[in-house]
Chain A
Amino acid sequence: MTIWIAIAVTAVGCYAAKLLGLLVPAGALERPLVRRMAALVPVALLAALTAQQTFADGTALELDAKAAGLAVAAVALLLRAPFLLVVGVAVVVTAAVRAITG
């Protein structure tokens, strides 16, 4: 049940954000500070989420095969690999390292 609540709140919130952008008169959100924040908040969230989901299990920090997978994904990104390939190598390398070490 709690999962359905989370889904409902997220769905309503995310849809409201999308619709707001289309309905609000142009200029209302165009102040430079607001625009800067809008660009930077996703940077902060994505960076924190990447780090947590790579180096944490629940609320404990850990170093496992995912770190190797993400390191290779980072290299793929530096080489301008397409989106799917980046995700693909992360999965394959993580599985390989786990198979070898575990």
Chain B
Amino acid sequence: MAQQTAPADICDGKPDSAVVRDALGVGIAVGLSGFAFGVTSAGSGLTLLQTCALSLLVFTGASQFALVGALAAGGNPFTAAAGAFFLGVRNAFYGLRLSQLLALPRAVRPFAAHWVIDESAAVALAQPTRRAVRIGFTVTGLSLYVLWNLTTLLGAVGAEALGDTDAWGLDAAGPAVFLALLAPMLKTVTERAVAGLAVVLGLGLLPVLPAGVPVLVAALAAPAVLWAEGRRRAPAGGTPAADDVQGENR
């Protein structure tokens, strides 16, 4: 599948330094929040080794916070992992978009895959040329991976020194991270309806279902709202979207 038609990869691109600056900005800002993860994880009762293993091997923040939160609440390991996994599934869709833009050799993909996360995708997808996409992805991925793991370690060590992490308000870090990730997603009525229904399900079922399960049930808010929306729109019919892109040809 040679793609020799890709136009204008060279000229009016962004300077490499500007791409690196964007990438480092995101990598450093978000990388520092690994501290909050380290503290939260240690506060949830995970050992230093377990906490660091999560950041090294899972490396997708929301899933990590979800997992330690579910374990702290007494969920069984499989329901806890299921919640974390479903949060991580969105990375598959970033990978799909990125694989076309990065055009990596097959042998490199298993290594690049570990860095396919919200932030690296956001930076890379915003770049104008293949070169810039590759630089953006690599610099964001590398800086974030290094910092996230360092700050996780510091946070976990620091938490042990701090003692009662709740007294420092550090148990608010996890939900605040979720809220900060969620906020930019709430663009339309659909997303707000899904979020609202998920909150009701998540809190309403908490006292009656085993730990970790209510979150999974709350995920059903997504198909439920889509279904309701489909029913509401069905009578209107609609024309097929002819402008749906087939490729990146111009």
A56, B172: Cβ atoms under 8 Å?
no
Using known A-B contacts A40-B222, A45-B198, determine if residue A77 contacts B179 with beta carbons closer than 8 Å. Answer: yes
Using known A-B contacts A50-B178, A70-B176, A90-B176, determine if residue A19 contacts B206 with beta carbons closer than 8 Å. Answer: no
A90, B172: Cβ atoms under 8 Å?
yes
**Minimum distance in angstroms from A34 CB to a CB of chain B:** 9
B182, A47: Cβ atoms under 8 Å?
yes
A45, B169: Cβ atoms under 8 Å?
no
Which residues on B sit within 8 Å (CB–CB) of A42?
62, 87, 90, 181, 185
A43, B77: Cβ atoms under 8 Å?
no
Across the two chains, which residue of chain B brings its CB closest to A30?
Answer: B96
A49, B178: Cβ atoms under 8 Å?
yes
A59, B169: Cβ atoms under 8 Å?
no
Which residues on B sit within 8 Å (CB–CB) of A60?
206-207
Across the two chains, which residue of chain A brings its CB closest to B117?
Answer: A18
CA of A84 to CA of B169, assembled, Å: 15
Stretch from B7-15, B106-114, B123-131 that touches the partner: B106-114
The interface bits of chain B over 88-129 (1 if a CB of A lies within 8 angstroms of the residue's CB, else 0) are 111111111111100010100110111011000000000000
A49, B60: Cβ atoms under 8 Å?
no
Which residues on A sit within 8 Å (CB–CB) of B203?
48, 51-52, 55-56, 61
B63, A10: Cβ atoms under 8 Å?
yes
Which residues on A sit within 8 Å (CB–CB) of B167?
95, 98-99
B214, A10: Cβ atoms under 8 Å?
no
B77, A2: Cβ atoms under 8 Å?
yes
Using known A-B contacts A22-B116, A26-B99, A44-B222, determine if residue A58 contacts B211 with beta carbons closer than 8 Å. Answer: yes
B226, A40: Cβ atoms under 8 Å?
yes
A45, B197: Cβ atoms under 8 Å?
no
| Interface size in chain A (residues, C-beta < 8 A) | 71
B83 located at the interface, meaning its Cβ lies under 8 Å from any Cβ of chain A in the complex: yes
**Minimum distance in angstroms from B163 CB to a CB of chain A:** 13
Which residues on A sit within 8 Å (CB–CB) of B74?
58-59
B69, A49: Cβ atoms under 8 Å?
yes
Which residues on B sit within 8 Å (CB–CB) of A47?
182, 194-196, 198-199, 202, 218, 221
**Minimum distance in angstroms from B25 CB to a CB of chain A:** 10
Which residues on B sit within 8 Å (CB–CB) of A53?
69, 171, 174-175, 178
Which residues on A sit within 8 Å (CB–CB) of B226?
33, 36-37, 40
B54 located at the interface, meaning its Cβ lies under 8 Å from any Cβ of chain A in the complex: yes
Which residues on B sit within 8 Å (CB–CB) of A59?
73-74, 206-207, 211
A40, B225: Cβ atoms under 8 Å?
yes
Given contacts A48-B219, A77-B180, 15 further A-B pairs with CB under 8 A are: A7-B53, A10-B84, A10-B85, A15-B113, A21-B94, A40-B191, A46-B178, A48-B221, A61-B206, A73-B172, A86-B179, A90-B173, A91-B168, A91-B173, A93-B172
Binding site for B on A (CB under 8 A): 2-7, 9-11, 13-15, 17-24, 26, 29-30, 33, 35-56, 58-61, 65-66, 69-70, 73-74, 77, 82-84, 86-87, 90-96, 98-99
Binding site for A on B (CB under 8 A): 29-30, 32-33, 36, 46, 50, 53-54, 57-60, 62-63, 65-67, 69, 71, 73-74, 76-78, 80-81, 83-100, 104, 106, 109-110, 112-114, 116-117, 166-183, 185-186, 190-191, 194-199, 201-203, 206-207, 211, 214-215, 218-223, 225-226
